[in-house]
Amino acid sequence: MRTPTLQYLYLQKPVSMIIVICIISVLPWLGLHELDMPAQSECAITANTMLQTGEWILPHVSGGEVSYDHPMLHWLIVLFSYGQGYVSKLTMQLPDALAFIVMMATSLIFFGRRTKFHEAFISTLFLITCSGMQNLSAASSGDLLFATFLFVSLTQLYRWEENYELKGIPVEISLLLSGAILTKGLMGVILPLLAFTTYLFILRKHPVWLILKAMSYLFVSSLFLPTLWYVSIWKQGGTELLLDVMRTEFSYFWGVGPDVHNFLYVFPALAIGFLPWIVFFFFSLFGMKWEKHTVCCTGVKLFSLVSMVVLLAAYAIMPVKRASFLLPIYPFITIFLAQYALYITEYRTWCTRLFAIFMTVAVVCGLLLAIFPSGWSPFHAFAIDLRTGLLLGFTFAMLGTVYYQLFKRINIKILYATIALAFSVNLLVNAAEMI
């Protein structure tokens, strides 16, 4: 008997399967419309100026102003636009879209080798389908690019300690931290090294002097490439412009800017970012019997918990907050959510079924309001063409799959069917927004 295709991919090529899912989730919807040149963003203007003038450090944008934003996103846009000779919506969105794929693949590989693979796979599927990731996977802000640099650098730091006992200077980690600095500033090196140093102190495996020495070497080596950029700014714009750049870099820490919030902001931001799965875990709280369990939190679980808490505390303390700042924490949260989801699916079967019913009803109602809009509907109507028609058919097929699985006894299949339904809805929403 032949193994079904999806089962074969899951068992033999899981990383390839996740990459294909990510590609289908993001890449087909990029650049369906060209940029409206009079209304293009500042990022597009800066990248286009770099492309046309060849000035990659301090390009002069409209009005003769000098752009000194962190250049990594602009450089990547220019790189992707070089062949066609101009900046388009596709090339603007491509860096964040590719960063999305890299983060998903890294999450599956990193956790899949150190936890139960089933947990890592479901964790990655949660990550792909949660609203926080989907909303920024095709953006052109550089937030997902920055989050990917941070998350991948943290996983490589863990691997460095695990395999090499903090010996040597890992060049790849220094390059990742340099990329984070060149994307959003010095918090790109401060935050991951702070989280990893805290983990090492809690681990109590290495002497304090060795930890501080290793972190100092990493910090200095990661500043090498950004320093070249800072020196170039100083040579072209002088000390005053360099000071403006540094003030911008540290503005996140002293509360200068329009996005100043108190620490409570992070909780609703996380709740909205993890829709629809936050509803699943909300359902699981009802009727819960609190019992004492022995929890083993070592290895990668301890590392994930420490990284999650330290980064979350850092963002809570920082006055300037945006929901996109929380993206590097998402993979560390979803691995715990996946473990909890598997426990709920196995031992509290009614919760998984209740959530599947809720998702089915919510999707059906949303589709009806979108296809047959009314004056009070919160949804925007979308025209049905070949693309949206096919995706509507796929969504209805997933609705049928969930309905079919509800009459079966295997609850894990209900969970997978619900994830597939969320994925189909994301595809439909992405396609509808392009019309």
Residue 294 scores a pLDDT above 60: no
**pLDDT bracket for residue 263 (50, 70, 90):** confident
pLDDT tens figures, 319-356:
877 888 899 999 999 999 999 999 888 888 888 999 99
Coil vs helix vs strand at 66: strand
Coil vs helix vs strand at 197: helix
Tally the C-alpha atoms within 13 A of residue 197's C-alpha that lie toward its C-beta.
18
**Per-residue DSSP letter, 57:** S
**CB-based contacts of 4, cutoff 8 Å, min separation 6:** none
Residue 60 main-chain phi, psi, to 5 deg: -90, 115
Please report, to the nearest 10 degrees, the dihedral formed by the alpha carbons of residues 74, 135, 263, 103 taken in order: -70
CB atoms within 10 A of CB 5: 9
For 391-394, the CB contacts below 8 A with 24+ separation are: 391/424, 391/427, 391/428, 391/431, 392/367, 392/428, 394/424, 394/427, 394/428
How far, in Å, are 101, 253, 322 from residue 178 at the CA level?
20, 20, 22
Amino acid at 337: L
Residue 259: the pLDDT is 72
| Extents of the domains making up the chain | 5-263
For tokens 């320093």, the residue is: 227
Separation of alpha carbons 45 and 13, rounded Å: 41
Read off the tokens for 9.
């991919």
Residue 28: the pLDDT is 82
Coil vs helix vs strand at 60: strand
pLDDT tens figures, 236-247:
888 888 888 888
Q: Which residue has the higher pLDDT, 9 or 120?
A: 120
For 342-350, the CB contacts below 8 A with 24+ separation are: 342/118, 342/119, 342/122, 342/412, 344/280, 344/284, 345/411, 345/412, 345/414, 345/415, 346/411, 346/412, 348/284, 349/411
Residue 236: the pLDDT is 83
Coil vs helix vs strand at 260: strand
Residue 318: the pLDDT is 85
Residue 26: the pLDDT is 86
Amino acid at 106: T
Separation of alpha carbons 42 and 31, rounded Å: 18
Residue 37 scores a pLDDT above 50: no
Residue 39: the pLDDT is 36
Average pLDDT over residues 139-161: 91
Average pLDDT over residues 384-388: 76
**Mean pLDDT rounded to a whole number for the chain:** 85
**Residues of the chain above pLDDT 90, percent:** 42
pLDDT tens figures, 14-26:
888 898 898 888 8
The pTM for the full model equals 0.92
Residue 379: the pLDDT is 58
Contact criterion met (CB below 8 Å) for 74 and 50: yes
Residue 66 scores a pLDDT above 80: no
CA angle 375, 381, 383 (to 5 degrees): 145
Average pLDDT over residues 94-117: 93
pLDDT tens figures, 203-237:
988 999 999 999 999 999 999 999 999 898 888 88
**pLDDT bracket for residue 401 (50, 70, 90):** very high
Separation of alpha carbons 353 and 138, rounded Å: 32
